[in-house]
Structure 1
């Protein structure tokens, strides 16, 4: 099911980031959602574009509007440029809210880590934890203060729970931040893959249980230089598919009518995880642990590729 939304406001928050607020075009009630949810926008660019719903105060009832913050990427695939080209009153088609990056239940404390535009779902987490009265700290890392979105609003809203870090003067110290987390805390990180990998490594070093560490990658992984085509065999049918260097396994299987389950297409929700029966995966997700990657018996087929000439998948 899709929704038709009308753009009510578009507010610049940095030179490249704007906050968009939408209302239902038909006047119907919008679906509620939990912190961390996103909606998929159909902007006419290749594929759908997912943007996190952002709330500075946790909604007490059904929302009247949906808000998203979008960073313009002129060298991207066109979705963010199309969003920034919208004018007030424009109508767009979006999915119902989905949530692959949800807060834990209960009152365990949380450490919230955001890199760049990855702050959007983290803001909603902070708002919800404030509503619950749950202990948390919010760490927001950017290249500089000039490119930090919502800095003043975050300071006003979350006060001493917020710490901002800037690469040009005070780079984030993940060892200290994560090492000082309260006992039993959940760690949430949304940002670029390098930050996510560093957070994962720190959490593993410190012995934080895997089910207390949560990630969301805010960009779609790009093809890498030197990517090669390979073959995928479907074990249940024996069908073999050629996966070119510029397409993912999910892309090819879906085009061929193979029923595959996926959502984020960034390798961070885990929905597309598939057992590998033969071959060596080239892991590019942010879900699997180092041990799981080394074992090589599962992979995220929305982003990961192959080091071997063929993979046999349990599909």
Structure 2
């Protein structure tokens, strides 16, 4: 029996959780298949960030119902991307299993908390903090965008930028080591070990993240996008949330990435066709079609 793994992002997860009928449809579809649905806690928290309390209560209750009535092995919640990076470093570049949000012993308590009115209020307050944190980080990262755009346009022609985008791979150029060191808070020695490891099966999470940051940097330096261009998704993503890159890194470990964001799907499939990430990007409707056939 082949098990198909899906990771759902906040755009598709919000659609499922804001409507209880759709929540039930998702559960029934998963229960009838050998597939697994993975939910990153990053997706859930970003999806409710800055929303009204009533909306948070509705979505959290539906998540509680979904988890309470499902097989824990089929609907799985994972830790934030920072834990993925830490795990890979601890394991010297090896990454075999995604880090689960809670152990089997603590899982029942977490699920129960999702139906606690005090938890609703906690999530509401936390969502406001997260929104402020994202805003503060976004400004700093936008500054990185601006700096790279100026530097790249001064040293690279538009043709060269386009070629770098089309030839993107898991080994970004050495001249970006300093950028990665600052963004990921790693030493130059660690960055070099990750990027230039002889065993190319190692540090896939880090190298995928570095690649996505570099792709965004290149997108900032390119100014000749057109609506029919196969890299036009970059034109919109460079103006979006840097958080999208974290979800894409996680998606790289699954068969399918479920998102209603067409630019995220386009980037995912652009990288999938190059053999750089495992996942294919699909819509929520396509998810229901595939899981029914599984």
**TM-score normalized by structure 1?**
0.28
**Structure with greater strand share of residues:** 1
Higher RCO (CA < 8 A, seq sep 6+): 2
**Structure with greater helix share of residues:** 2
